[in-house]
């Protein structure tokens, strides 16, 4: 007999950027916690493959495509998710980009306005649009959890990420506080996670040498795993975390002690 508790049974979690990396681990973890899962990403075939990996029966998973920076696509995805299983009780704004050129971020001097705007549009505006699309249903149900993926780069000067990325991730933290204040009375909590270096396709783009340099500054002497972030999301999404809102949790192996 399976005696594993299912703290999120009957709830639905929508995770953006869920086909791989941190988003996929978060989807897997919240599925294990008992939630129905909506995986949202830009590539349908890959998002469907990720969904089937989590639940081959397809009963508790749904794969959707949307560009989180496009208001029409986000609203359509929100409607599709609601039709499928009624609601998004938990929203994890995880989709993000960190453009590199030959493994390096552009300097401010060399950064194109197009690249600046694309990073802000996906990382910051996307978080706003997806939150807006889900918050009314959460308010009506008097319960909700919104967890936004910031970054260590939004908390301190980054040696790897660009200024656009850092600005977007700092913006996510400020936006989350405003959203937390606006929705707190409705039983909704809004928190950020600021991961350090986590082993995913995104961090691999910076190359092994950059990651090895990073490792030297991490007191626990390892890079992070997507599951480290998924476990933090699982806690922030739980009933037990109901008195935590407007917070940013640093999951970085102790990097800030250096």
Contacts with ligand NAD, 40-79, as mask; x by CB under 6 A = -xx------------------------xxx----------
- As given in the structure block, the two tokens for residue 175 are 């936006």
Subset of 130-149 contacting ligand NAD (CB under 6 A): 149
- Beta carbons within 8 Å of 1's beta carbon, 6+ residues apart: none
Q: In the set 203, 232, 245, 255, which binds ligand NAD (CB under 6 A)? A: 203
Q: What is the dihedral of CA 14, 16, 20, 26, to 10 degrees?
A: -40
Rounded to whole angstroms, the Cα distance separating 177 from 171 reads: 10
Q: Is 23 in the site for ligand NAD (CB under 6 A)?
A: yes
Write out the catalytic residue numbers. Answer: 165
**Block residue for tokens 């950027």:** 17
The packing angle between helices 226-236 and 21-32, to 10°, is 50
Q: In the set 8, 16, 88, 189, which binds ligand NAD (CB under 6 A)? A: 16
Q: In the set 8, 12, 13, 20, which binds ligand NAD (CB under 6 A)? A: 20
> CB–CB of 150/175 below 8 Å?
no
Q: Is 151 in the site for ligand NAD (CB under 6 A)?
A: yes
- Candidates 17-25, 83-91, 133-141, 231-239: pick the segment binding ligand NAD (CB under 6 A): 17-25
Rounded to whole angstroms, the Cα distance separating 34 from 237 reads: 12
- Candidates 11-19, 52-60, 78-86, 137-145: pick the segment binding ligand NAD (CB under 6 A): 11-19
Q: Is 198 in the site for ligand NAD (CB under 6 A)?
A: yes
Rounded to whole angstroms, the Cα distance separating 60 from 37 reads: 6
Q: In the set 22, 38, 137, 233, which binds ligand NAD (CB under 6 A)? A: 22
Rounded to whole angstroms, the Cα distance separating 198 from 186 reads: 33
Q: Is 21 in the site for ligand NAD (CB under 6 A)?
A: yes
Total residues interacting with ligand NAD, rule: CB under 6 A: 27
Rounded to whole angstroms, the Cα distance separating 234 from 108 reads: 36
Q: Provide the β-strand partners of residue 64.
A: 40
Nearer to ligand NAD, 7 or 248 (CB): 248
Task: Provide, rounded to whole angstroms, the least separation between the CB of residue 95 and ligand NAD.
Answer: 3
Task: Provide, rounded to whole angstroms, the least separation between the CB of residue 38 and ligand NAD.
Answer: 13
Strand, coil or helix: 179: helix
Contacts with ligand NAD, 80-119, as mask; x by CB under 6 A = --------------xxxxx---------------------
Q: How far from 106 is each of 101, 116, 117, 162, 198, CA to CA, in Å?
A: 7, 10, 14, 6, 21
E strands of 82-206, at which residues? 90-93, 144-149, 188-195
Nearer to ligand NAD, 68 or 137 (CB): 68
Task: Return residues touching ligand NAD (CB under 6 A).
Answer: 16-17, 19-23, 41-42, 67-69, 94-98, 122, 149, 151, 195, 197-198, 200-203
């Amino acid at each position: 007999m399976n005696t594993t508790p299912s703290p999120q049974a009957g709830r639905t979690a929508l995770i953006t950027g869920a086909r791989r990396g941190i988003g996929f681990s978060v989807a897997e973890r919240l599925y294990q916690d008992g939630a129905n899962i909506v995986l949202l990403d830009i590539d349908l075939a890959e998002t469907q493959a990720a969904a089937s990996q989590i639940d081959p029966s397809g009963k508790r998973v749904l794969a959707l495509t949307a560009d989180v920076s496009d208001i029409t696509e986000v609203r359509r995805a929100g409607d599709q998710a609601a039709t499928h299983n009624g609601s998004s009780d938990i929203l994890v704004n995880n989709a993000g980009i960190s453009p590199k050129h030959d493994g390096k971020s552009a300097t401010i001097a060399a950064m194109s306005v197009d690249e600046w705007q694309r990073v802000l549009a996906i990382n910051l505006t996307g978080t706003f649009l997806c939150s807006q699309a889900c918050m009314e249903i959460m308010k009506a149900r008097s319960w909700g959890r919104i967890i936004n993926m910031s970054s260590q780069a939004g908390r301190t000067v980054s040696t790897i990420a660009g200024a656009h990325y850092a600005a977007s991730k700092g913006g996510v933290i400020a936006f989350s506080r405003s959203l937390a204040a606006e929705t707190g009375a409705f039983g909704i909590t809004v928190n950020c996670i600021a991961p350090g270096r986590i082993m995913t396709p995104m961090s691999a783009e910076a190359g092994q040498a950059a990651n090895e340099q990073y490792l030297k500054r991490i007191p626990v002497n390892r890079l992070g795993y997507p599951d480290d972030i998924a476990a933090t999301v699982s806690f922030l999404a739980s009933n037990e975390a109901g008195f935590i809102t407007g917070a940013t949790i640093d999951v970085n192996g102790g990097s800030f002690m250096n």
